[in-house]
Structure 1
Amino acid sequence: MTARVTVVVATRNRRDVVARSLVHHECPVILVDNGSTDGTPAFVRQAFPSVEVVELGENRGAPARNVGVRRASTPYVAFADDDSWWDPGALAAAADILDAHPRLGLLAARVLVGPNNLLDPICEEMARSPLPVRADLPGPPVLGFLACGAVVRRDAYLAAGGFDDVVFFFGEEERLALDLAANGWGLAYVDEVVAQHHPEPPRDPRERQILAARNAVLTALMRRPWIVVARTATGVALSGPTGCRALFDSVRRLPQALARRRRPLGAIESDLRRLRQG
């Protein structure tokens, strides 16, 4: 049977983690290596010869996934982190759902975290989405997702530009979700499609907070009305030393963000307000 889904995994210096996760993948896998120095590419080629390995030679962050999507020959692409995988049969089910819903550009799956299978809090929020139900979508409409629990329609993803190097990493999903919606694609949370995520504790939680705040400002700059940009930046500035550092870091990326700024999203803004209020 011809594959309908390719799994794209981006990694960097996580050879031992990759060794544990790759055994779980059922579909064709493209692993994109962000300049690892721990021998990850050679290890994967030897231990998992069916996995296509692409070496970038540098750390491109989240946009490394774009390379994998372009190389995929299937109509749908599922993302996995190097510490995540999909439940048996999940991607076949996702492909069936995408086949049956031609406006669905991105399927956001249920993500279970760790050995205790705890539901990721973001999935709880998506399941309770206050956006109006759409008859042509298989679940609650959303304007966000977790990358390690997403299956995309390849052509829709590429037309939306994939992940960008302004945000680079962490919170990279937001701008892509907005652009998919602006292009007329639906995004929906589908609870019956399940991904497993087994992350290690973050090495530097404060650094992740800084990245999240910085990238919220940059995403607002690229796509949101100026009043939202001002509100976002003010909230970050008032959040203390972490916020100040985030704003400082965002200044270095301002030229890139402004160069990619597009007209605010109009009708999508009302959905974003509803999500914020809901």
Structure 2
Amino acid sequence: MNANPRISIVVLTYNRADELMGVLHSLQALPERPEIIVVDNASTDGTAERVRAEHPQVRLVREPTNRGAAGRNSGVAQVRTPYVAFCDDDTWWAPGALARAADLLDAHPRVAALNARVIVEPEGRTDPTCDVMAHSPLDARGLPGPALVGFMAGAVVMRTTAFLEAGGYEPRFFLGAEEALLAFDLQARGWALCYRHDMVTHHHPSPARDLHRRRASLIRNRLWLAWLRLPLAVAWDETRSVLRDARQQGLRREGLRAAMAGLPWVLRQRRVLPPQVVRDWWLVHRGGALAADAPSTPVVAQRQ
């Protein structure tokens, strides 16, 4: 039985059965005793059979194909608690973190997501991204921690209604910057995102990764993200920045070709973000306010 009926965990997995078994063992030992929902992205290594045999208390969702990050949508569709924590098959929550998250979300109804501090194993060091989050330059008045413009997909606790309202993860993105689009859409709806240093999750990066494919997808998705949500001048600036990164990685042609293939869909789905969301994104990613004389729409104004 769920000892804390406020929160569930959705674990996304693909062909990492051995690692997943260890993660599930850790999650089932949590004092919060949350319901655990495993989304198997069409694994071919016997993952589903092992979950059923070794962890029968876990709810299993089997996808017919590998949907990437969008597999999490199927997990959240099964959630019956107001809050949902996310894990990958190489991450697990520390005892007490989920209860703390639920208390904070209870107390701060405009917050949609709390990003945890990620401890990278086996070194036991804090992920550098968390140090950046802890020093966010954004206005955090009235919030339970530093304000963010994004979050880490496998290290976040979210308000279930906010996730569903924003539409979850976009299937076309598969993997790479998928959380950035969801973060944009949450903020466009007035939700806040925060970092909490005292909420801890652990990450032991799996060696079973296709890094080339992940990097190429990230280039494509960053280009899509710019043209899906940013004003024209800002989108052009971001495009130049992404292509510079792609050139340095030897992925410019591959990433640009993949992005162009999805351009008709991107233009159909284009919805420019509210000005304040754009300003906050610029402040975090460019380190300063949008220039008042930049050639853009009225969102390009000095931050007050």
TM-score normalised to the size of structure 2?
A: 0.87
Within the candidate set 212, 216, 240, 1:210 is matched to 216
Q: Partner letter of residue 8 of structure 1?
A: V
> 8 Å contact 2:82–2:160 — kept in the other structure?
yes
> 8 Å contact 2:188–2:273 — kept in the other structure?
no
State how 1:239-254 maps to structure 2 within 5 Å. Answer: 239-240=246-247, 241-254=250-263
Unaligned runs of 5+ in 1: none
State how 1:75-154 maps to structure 2 within 5 Å. Answer: 75-135=82-142, 137-154=143-160
Partner of 2:25: 23
Q: 1:257 to 1:202 in 2, by over 3 A?
A: farther
Q: 1:270 to 1:236 in 2, by over 3 A?
A: closer
Secondary structure of 2:69's match?
A: coil
2:142 maps to 1:171? no
TM-score normalised to the size of structure 1?
A: 0.95
- The superposition leaves residues 13-65 of structure 1 with CA deviations (integer Å, 9 ceiling, x where unpaired) of 11111111111113211011111111111110110011100111101111110
| Further displaced range: 159-168 or 226-235 | 226-235
Distance 1:242 1:21 in 2: 34
Distance 1:49 1:102 in 2: 34
| Further displaced range: 68-77 or 251-260 | 251-260
2:274 maps to 1:265? yes
Distance 2:101 2:279 in 1: 29
> 8 Å contact 2:184–2:273 — kept in the other structure?
no
2:52 maps to 1:45? yes
Secondary structure of 2:172's match?
A: coil
Task: State the 1:235 CA deviation.
Answer: 2.7
Unaligned runs of 5+ in 2: 288-304
Partner of 1:71: 78
Partner of 2:297: none
Aligned length: 277
Partner of 1:8: 10
Distance 2:206 2:47 in 1: 18
> 8 Å contact 1:210–1:245 — kept in the other structure?
yes
Secondary structure of 2:38's match?
A: strand
> 8 Å contact 2:176–2:215 — kept in the other structure?
no
Partner of 1:191: 197
